[in-house]
Structure 1
Amino acid sequence: SIMPGKFKKYCPGVRVILDCTEIAVAAPSSLTLQSEMFSHYKNRTTLKGLIGVAPNGLVTFLGPLYTGSISDKEITKISGILPLLEAGDEVMAKKGFVIEDLLSGVGAKLIIPPFKRSAQFTKEDTEKTQAIAHLRIVVERVIGRI
């Protein structure tokens, strides 16, 4: 297998890594559409899409584009990814991707970096965070190539 050892240890069941990407677009003349397309994250008008990447870097899902103001949760809900998941699948995402309830509805589990509960991470939390960060880099590189 091509997965790093720490990743196999902490995240062996990850089927897909999800992230959204935004594409800058010219502001439309309609003020209503401008408002819908405005992304506070990018501070400009954008179109936003959901991308799914396998742990080996293969793009496995490209959702349609939506107006930039859509939340990560809403785009996950309507993009068409949920019916493709199976019970027991693990889905990796960044901390801000609040989709646990959507995934549990199809029997899948959300994997995100551990939150710091005390002054320091345990050794295991540190290793798990590093394994997750390594795979998050995979999806960021893929998005950079699109």
Structure 2
Amino acid sequence: MPNGIVSYISPLYGGATSDKAIINMDGSQSLIELLEDGDNIMSDSGFSLDAKYTHLTLIHPPFLDRQKQLSSQQVLQTRIIASNYYWSSKNQNT
């Protein structure tokens, strides 16, 4: 759950730019370099962190993989993540 302040506002990226590309973009200082111990990264499927970033937590919705449906706990987790994403998106549009 987000519980901090906004400390970084990135440049705009096109819709085809992946999460991984954004977080590792070259520049004066990449986003990954600004993250501190215990910080969370919220992402969708297909994103993973390199082993050197063990001090960060990756938050993403559960995946079905070989299951037929999500468990009730996984559904709740997905709702929490989706509500935080909605809040984040809503704040960016105001």
On whether the aligned pair clears a TM of 0.5, the verdict is yes
Deviation by residue 1:74-132 (Cα, 9 ceiling, x = unmatched): 22102621122123322112335x2422xx43321211000123112111111111111
Kindly indicate whether residue 69 of structure 2 is the aligned counterpart of residue 134 of structure 1.
no
Larger strand share, 1 or 2: 1
CA deviation vs aligned residue, 1:1-59 (integer Å, no higher than 9, x gap): xxxxxxxxxxxxx4xxxxxxxxxxxxxxxxxxxxxxxxxxxxxxxxxxxxxxxx26953
Aligned AA (1:141): K
| 1:116 aligned residue (64, 71, 87) | 64
In structure 2, how many angstroms separate the alpha carbons of the residues matched to 1:127 and 1:65? 31
C-alpha separation between the residues in 2 aligned to 1:100 and 1:92? Answer: 11
The aligned residue for residue 52 of structure 1 is none
Would you say how many aligned residue pairs link Structure 1 and Structure 2?
Answer: 88
Partner of 1:76: 23
Q: Where has structure 1 moved over 6 Å in runs of 4 or more?
A: none
Asked if residue 88 in structure 1 is aligned to residue 38 in structure 2, the reply is: yes
Pairs within 5 Å for 1:20-39? none
- Spell out, residue by residue over 1:56-82, the C-alpha distance to the aligned partner (whole angstroms, 9 max, x if none): 69533211345x464331221026211
* Percent identical residues: 33
Distance 1:121 1:128 in 2: 10
Equivalent-residue separation in structure 2 for 1:60 and 1:136 (angstroms):
17
Pairwise CA RMSD of aligned residues? 2.5
- SS class of match (1:113): coil
TM-score (norm 2): 0.71
Note closer, same or farther for the CA distance 1:144–1:92 as it changes in structure 2 (3 Å cut): same
Tell me, yes or no, if the aligned pair for 2:19 and 2:43 is still in contact at 8 Å: no
- RCO greater where, 1 or 2, for CA within 8 Å and sep 6 or more? 1
Q: Which one has a bigger Cα radius of gyration?
A: 1
